[in-house]
């Protein structure tokens, strides 16, 4: 048993040494933080999510093909760590072309790849850990630098990044549900909330009024609906799910209550709606 444990540690150490060498000159976007810190964080998240040794090795090397050597590096990884590790690394790379294809094209193709039933849980686990650490970093940087953070990215667009990360959350929620996918959703939801608040102030929700009530799309893409009843009371529906205790006396009060609820985490899926009951307005 001790020999097996030592062999495992040796492989992880070997993978870390290779990752550190390949990314030695790189730093995180817009910072002076060594890039290897990201690779260590992703490997840690993979192990915490139940990933095995080879998934952790792939996590340490997941950016090697895309950012540090293309096909030659993949060949080296396959030789030193085996086909499974190399296949995970290859599947977690959105391109091995130089120059890289346009950003939207690459990301759309990568999203389709994650949705493909042939994509294994091992690939999904490493990719999810990567995206969660990136999203956490993005949220922290947005809090620190506000809109200037988008200048670090190819498109310079908040909308592009939100589109990509929200698309990722939907895919991981479906294909690899669990605490890590839920955490990604919470981080992205908070980023969306902060961006919405900065753009629109309060309220965040933008309503379309109609004769029988109003509709809006929340920060996570969740549909909100207010129906004015014959009594004049306003009933609120979220994600096509009715709560009889969510109502208000006027349309304005109902909109205020929806905005209060939409700012809370956890409205991407019906089962994630909390039991918290707001005070009646």
Let me know whether 181 and 65 are in one domain: yes
Query: 2 in a domain, yes or no?
Result: no
Query: 100 in a domain, yes or no?
Result: yes
Alpha carbon distances (Å) from 258 to 189, 246, 263: 16, 9, 9
CA-CA distance, 121 to 117, in Å (whole number)?
A: 10
Let me know whether 175 and 258 are in one domain: no
Of 120, 115, 263, 131, nearest to 184 by C-alpha is: 131
Let me know whether 112 and 223 are in one domain: no
Of 173, 200, 227, the position where a domain reaches its end is 200
Query: 279 in a domain, yes or no?
Result: no
Query: 278 in a domain, yes or no?
Result: no
CA-CA distance, 101 to 47, in Å (whole number)?
A: 32
Of 200, 222, 242, the position where a domain reaches its end is 200
Let me know whether 138 and 252 are in one domain: no
Query: Strand pairing partners for 228?
Result: 234
CA-CA distance, 23 to 17, in Å (whole number)?
A: 10
Question: Residue 17: left if φ>0, alpha if ψ -120 to 50, beta else—which one?
Answer: alpha
Of 175, 200, 225, the position where a domain reaches its end is 200
Query: 138 in a domain, yes or no?
Result: yes
The pTM of the whole model exceeds 0.85? no
Number of residues that make up the chain: 281
Let me know whether 95 and 172 are in one domain: yes
Let me know whether 18 and 130 are in one domain: yes
Let me know whether 11 and 37 are in one domain: yes
Cis peptide, bond prior to residue 245, ω within 30 of zero:
no
| H or E element that contains 113 | helix 103-115
Let me know whether 130 and 180 are in one domain: yes
| H or E element that contains 244 | strand 241-248
Number of domains in the chain: 2
Buried b (16+ CB within 10 A) or exposed e, 147-160: eebbeebeeeebeb
Let me know whether 220 and 191 are in one domain: no
- Do residues 82 and 52 lie in contact, with contact meaning Cβ atoms separated by under 8 Å? no
Let me know whether 165 and 243 are in one domain: no
Let me know whether 213 and 108 are in one domain: no
Rg of the chain taking only CA atoms, in angstroms: 22
Q: What is the pLDDT along the chain (281 residues), one digit of tens a residue?
A: 444 455 566 899 999 999 999 888 888 877 788 999 999 999 999 999 999 999 999 999 998 888 776 678 899 999 999 999 999 999 998 766 667 789 999 999 999 999 999 999 999 999 999 999 999 999 999 999 999 999 988 888 888 999 999 999 999 999 999 999 999 998 998 888 788 777 766 666 888 999 899 999 876 667 889 999 988 899 988 876 666 668 889 998 898 888 877 766 444 433 333 443 444 44
Query: 281 in a domain, yes or no?
Result: no
| H or E element that contains 208 | strand 208-210
- Do residues 107 and 164 lie in contact, with contact meaning Cβ atoms separated by under 8 Å? yes
Let me know whether 216 and 194 are in one domain: no
Collapsing DSSP to helix, strand or coil, 163 comes out as helix
> 261: domain range?
208-272
């Amino acid at each position: 048993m001790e020999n097996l444990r030592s062999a495992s540690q040796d492989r992880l150490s070997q993978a870390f040494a290779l990752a550190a060498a390949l990314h030695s000159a790189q730093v995180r976007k817009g910072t002076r933080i060594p890039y290897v810190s990201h690779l260590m964080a992703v490997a840690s998240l993979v192990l915490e999510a139940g990933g095995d040794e080879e998934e952790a090795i792939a996590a340490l090397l997941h950016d090697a093909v895309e950012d540090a050597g293309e096909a030659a590096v993949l060949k080296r990884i396959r030789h030193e760590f085996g086909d499974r590790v190399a296949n995970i690394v290859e599947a977690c790379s959105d391109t091995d072309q130089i120059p890289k294809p346009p950003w939207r094209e690459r990301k759309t193709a990568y999203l389709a790849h994650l949705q493909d039933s042939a994509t294994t849980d091992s690939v999904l686990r490493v990719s999810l850990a990567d995206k969660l650490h990136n999203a956490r970093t993005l949220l922290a940087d947005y809090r620190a630098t506000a809109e200037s953070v988008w200048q670090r990215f190819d498109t310079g667009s908040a909308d592009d990044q939100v589109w990509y990360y929200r698309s990722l959350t939907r895919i991981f929620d479906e294909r690899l549900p669990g605490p890590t996918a839920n955490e990604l959703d919470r981080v992205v939801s908070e980023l969306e909330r902060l961006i919405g608040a900065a753009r629109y102030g309060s309220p965040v929700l933008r309503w379309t009024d109609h004769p029988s009530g109003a509709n809006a799309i929340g920060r996570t893409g969740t549909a909100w609906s207010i129906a004015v009843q014959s009594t004049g009371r306003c009933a609120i529906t979220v994600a096509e799910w009715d709560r009889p205790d969510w109502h208000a006396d006027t349309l304005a009060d109902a909109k205020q209550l929806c905005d209060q609820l939409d700012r809370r985490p956890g409205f991407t899926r019906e089962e994630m709606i909390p039991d918290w009951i707001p005070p009646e307005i």
